[in-house]
Amino acid sequence: METLFEKIAAGQIPAEILHRDDVCFVLRDIAPQAPVHLLVVPLKPIPDLAAAGDGDGALLGHLLATVRKMGQRFVPSGEYRVVINCGAAAGQTVPHLHIHLLAGRDFSWPPG
């Protein structure tokens, strides 16, 4: 069964794609938790970070490099939070690895 992100990547569900390359795409979260809330999503369907294999290191590095580029593009202050939820108990709602970039407000610690 295809995930929401696979359907977006395939063009089956319309979305405003802010960035796309041969490894990932970036879009705004539909339920933003901050003024800037972007999702960096790999094209490869990996259910969550725990399911990433040893051979996925370059892909994971590319995702973080893309987060950095999106931070430079969308967050003039350069201050943002990066979140990867792994599993439903951690808040993951789509079973497809993705990275949240959140900015534009102060964040507390610990998150929760």
Active site residues: 98
Compute the distance between CA of residue 40 and CA of residue 99 in angstroms, rounded to an integer: 5
Assess contact for 99 and 67: CB atoms under 8 A. yes
Separation of CA 13 from chain center: 17
Compute the distance between CA of residue 21 and CA of residue 100 in angstroms, rounded to an integer: 18
